[in-house]
Amino acid sequence: MNKNSFFSQFTTQNISIEQFLEKGFGSASSNIALIKYWGKRDLSLNLPLTSSLSLSLGDLGTQTTLSLHSKREADQYSINGVVLLRNEPTYQRLYRFLSPFRPKDHHFELRSVNTVPTKAGLASSASGYAALAGALDALFAWNLDEPSLSRLARLGSGSASRSVLKEGFALWNRGERADGMDCYAKRIDQRWSSLRWVILPVDFSPKKIGSKEAMQQTFATSPFGSKWVQRVAQELEIAVKAISEKDFAALGAVMERNAFAMHALMRSAKPRISYFQPQTIAIIQWIYRLRSDGGLPVFMTMDAGPNIKLLLEEKSTKALKTAIEQESALFQSHQPIWINPWERVNI
Ligand code: PMV
């Protein structure tokens, strides 16, 4: 594929890689899906089977600086100051993503700093590829519009298409077109400033099966794939309505149902996929108790990792903090991380 037809996979703007600046900088907040993306309709373009919906992780994300060099032998990528080896999967994935943008006889230097634990089901690839899309845009001074940036980030990681939007809710449209030009994320214009995330860490070590492979395994073997697709469409409608009405109980409930349906779907794959650890289950049971016995309106979600993310309203913060203190044995290894989705201080 020549360069121009590659560029036409994400933008109709006229762009080139002939000229570039000394450095390009991009930053992005990570995001957590309220209604999940699980399953692809096109592998190479990262086109999803369903639309999905997310809320930003505010201060947790990635900052990336990109530059080009003519006197080097190879690309150099570092994450949090650690230089990646060329045989590492993360290096190879970045290399594949960046290759179509390489001017002749040049090599990239990429430096990323994550304020979100890398590869822990905390969507570091979402903010990573969204920040990288921004850094490419800045390096080549393209001035891409938001849909083009979202499609570009999507080519690196599906959920990154949602992280291009600077804050708040993002709705990533599945699109119908085979070329993916209608498949990008849009902002939902609703500032719900009392919402908060709390990450309850279980294990931050890299996951055993990545989301790409896990999605493929799910849809190749589970008997429930088409049920999931139907269900997501309905749940998305409920979630969008709940956001427009600021109905917290409705949003929390549909978010939680959707996440557990996704994990049930994975469990129905052959071989089964499970990101649950014993501590994950202990936390889930504790949340159920907090809600039923304590009347505390907090809802949970989980991605491709064992950590739990809670959605709550600011007014429940104090009660949740007290409940966490009382249950300190559950949170011995890592402290909970409190996030205001609307604050982007360090990103
Ligand atoms: O964008 P990926 O390939 O890292 O997949 C993300 C999958 C989930 O985090 C489980 C769900 C989502 O919508 O973010």
Nearest CA to ligand 1 atom 8: 303
Token pair listed for 142: 């393209």
Contact 291, 245 (CB under 8 A): no
**How far apart, in Å, are the Cα atoms of 12 and each of 144, 149, 151, 174, 252?**
10, 11, 11, 19, 38
* Ligand 1 binding pocket mutation candidate from 125, 183, 211 (most atoms within 8 A of CB): 211
Looking at residue 124, its pLDDT comes to: 80
**Residue 201: closest CA among 281, 256, 297, 280:** 280
* pTM score, whole prediction: 0.96
Q: Which atom of ligand 1 is nearest to the CA of 31?
A: 14
Looking at residue 164, its pLDDT comes to: 97
Q: Assign residue 66 a region: left if phi > 0, alpha if psi is -120 to 50, beta otherwise?
A: beta
pLDDT in tens, 245-296: 999 999 999 999 999 999 999 999 999 999 999 999 999 999 999 999 989 9
> Which residue numbers in the chain have pLDDT < 70?
117-123
Contact 93, 144 (CB under 8 A): no
Q: Which atom of ligand 1 is nearest to the CA of 46?
A: 3
Looking at residue 123, its pLDDT comes to: 58
- Cis bond before residue 223 (omega within 30° of 0): no
Looking at residue 158, its pLDDT comes to: 97
Look up residue 329 and give its DSSP letter.
Answer: G
DSSP lists the bridge partners of residue 309 as 199, 301
Looking at residue 208, its pLDDT comes to: 82
Token pair listed for 251: 């949003």
Q: What is the distance in A from the centroid of ligand 1 to the CA of 303?
A: 7
What's the whole-number average pLDDT of the chain? 95
Question: Is the shortest distance between the CB of 127 and ligand 1 below 6 Å?
Answer: no
Looking at residue 10, its pLDDT comes to: 98
Looking at residue 297, its pLDDT comes to: 98
pLDDT in tens, 86-112: 999 999 999 999 999 999 999 999 999
Q: Which atom of ligand 1 is nearest to the CA of 157?
A: 1
Looking at residue 118, its pLDDT comes to: 57
pLDDT in tens, 156-180: 999 999 999 988 999 999 999 999 9
* Ligand 1 binding pocket mutation candidate from 37, 114, 118 (most atoms within 8 A of CB): 37
Look up residue 293 and give its DSSP letter.
Answer: T
Question: Is the shortest distance between the CB of 186 and ligand 1 below 6 Å?
Answer: no
Measured in degrees and rounded to the nearest 5, phi and psi for residue 284 equal -60, -45
Token pair listed for 287: 């949340």
Q: Both ends of the chain: CA-CA distance in Å?
A: 35
Question: Is the shortest distance between the CB of 170 and ligand 1 below 6 Å?
Answer: no
Report, in angstroms and rounded to the nearest whole number, the Rg of the chain calculated over CA atoms. Answer: 20
